[in-house]
Structure 1
Amino acid sequence: MLSKFRIRGRLFIILGLNIALIAIMGFVAFFMATSINGKLSLVLGRDLPGTAVLLEADRDLHQMLLAERGLLLSVPGTAEYDNNMKSYRENMEQADSRLKKFIAVSFSEEKKELVDQYVRDRAAWEAVSNRILELRARSTGEASPEAVEMAITDGAAKFDIMREHINKLTEIVDNDAKDAGQEAAAAFERLKLILAIITFGSIFVGGALTLFISNGITGPLGRMIAMLRDIAEGEGDLTKRIKDQSGMETQELAEWFNQFVDRVHNIIKDVAHNSSQVSMAARTLLELAGNLSSSSGSMTGTSNTVAASAEEMSANMNSVAASMEQFTVNIGTVATSSEEMSATITEISVSTGKAKDITGQAVAAAGKASVQVNELGCVFRSKLTTDSGGN
């Protein structure tokens, strides 16, 4: 199934499964912890306070009984008698107050029934106790035999019946606390078992998937590494290709790597071809070097001939230098004649300027004469016209 997925998809599946298992583990842990917390809350918030209240109420009842016995043994009007009476009433009020607290923190139908029975039996005991105290208050000396008899018989029996309800309530509360503790312990054991199963399952599934995917990745990579090692050690066969049909990114990597090897192979073939051409060119250059070596001898003879010709040319250049000196002297003579010619040309220029002025005056006179001739022509034409009209 996983073979259809690429590496990214496989990693996503692994991480998704791990996240799902962690989420399940967290949900189970939260649910079980909430259940355990609820059980412990019942024990700490209901059962233990209820037990403490019942124990205190039972203590108050015993204090009432002791105060009643103290009243029988003390003489009315004395401080001892008054203290016993005060203790009797205070413990009665405390017992009532603690019973109300118990009802507030721990209450059920079973407990309600016992509380109702306790209230009825306590009323019966208080009636007997009040009768005993009334008989004791009538006698100024020792307690009357009737009061003592009633206290150790009917009063004690009713007290035991009333107190038995307290004992039953305490036992029920203790059992509730024990049951809640056992349920919390069982929930904790279940939580440990579930967490252990999920943990080992996550380790097994994650390990198996990781091993499977790592093999799918490292296999093609190992073949690439072997091929590169073969190339690096100088024994590379560039005709080999990596085959990977996994459909993962390693297949794409193998395809691109094969294209790279193809290009390198083609480059090496081109280099080999160019190397053969370079070898042929080197042989041609070697032949040319031989020809140049054979030609260097004839070039040496020609150089000697050129040297002789150069000496002859040097002699001719000396003759030319002498002729140039004579030419320089002639040039000086020509320069002197040129200066004289320049002065003559200057005089001619002055004369030419004067001739120009005279020519300008002649042109002006000729223009004036031309105007006068034109006027005479016009008069002559007018005259001819007039004469032609008279004839």
Structure 2
Amino acid sequence: MTLENKKNIFIELGTFLSQFSEAKNHQKEGVSGNAIFFDSFIDLIHLSQSHNGWYTPEQVYYAVASWAQALNKENLDKWLDGYDFTAVKPKKIALILAGNIPLVGFHDFLSVLITGHDVIVKTSSNDQHLLPFLAKYLIHIAPELENKITFSEGKLENFDAVIATGSNNTARYFEYYFKDKPSIIRKSRNSVAVLNGEETKEQLIALGEDIFRYFGLGCRNVSKLFVPKGYSFNAFFEAIFEYQDIIKYEKYANNYDYNKAVFLMSNFKLLDNGFLTIKEDSSHASPISSVFYEYYETLSDLEQKLEAEAENIQCIVSNNLIKNSVAFGQTQQPKLWDYADNTDTISFLLIT
């Protein structure tokens, strides 16, 4: 199968996914597999919350729409241009996936198949249904993929390399267990935002998207704010009030109540707006329903600090205050070439 053939298969998947949105599911004419998969996918989206309480239809639809936008010819061409696929020798690549947000492992899945390897997938117990469904769709439109996609429920065996994603604790286990295999081992990371007090209300509203999308469970969610001395959070709280309905979701509300109580019992000073607590803390990883903040003296000092802590940071959000930062509201819309942990997955797969 040529690279162009593989691109076309995923472009077709993108077209299929483009039919689904929270506002309206619209079946388009001429989309392969609709008779079999269209209604079933709608059912799965709405059943996902019963499989994982954080996978509300709104969040799953958002993930689906993000992949629909990514899987087009322009993006695939831009992503893969410049790589040399001529010397690839197909191997078996094992994937151990996270399940914190819907379809979080799809990029690795796509990368393995687009480079011509076979994929052996071990899904997270928190996300066991969405990716297998899309794999069935791919096999339906491209039967030659059937022997290249395997889902494993038991011990991973007979593989040549591995890409594994987990916490810092599980990463140590992965590093030991897979020490004799080529591997990418991903650990816990968090994202941060750098503010200077000159942000517009629209930018701060967009920052709310970076904080609250997927209930803050993703590594690309902003969990920490860096602000200058004397910064007032009034404009920030006013802007993110648009996200107040998140407290109506029971699992989020339970986390809010619990974490706020823990903070108060520990006599921590908090800022609180009824659905989000803000706490001064040097850590990057804040609990659900909370964001940490830290003051900085100068942007140059902060940039040095962030560079020193780069291994713990997935992305940085700012209004061009920090080099290579992401615009407000864009953290959950990475491009195909925005690699997790800044590790080039395609290059790894081409030399494996």
Q: TM-score, normalised by structure 2?
A: 0.15
* Structure 1 or 2: more strand by fraction: 2
Q: Which has the higher contact order (CA 8 A, sep 6+)?
A: 1
Q: TM-score, normalised by structure 1?
A: 0.14
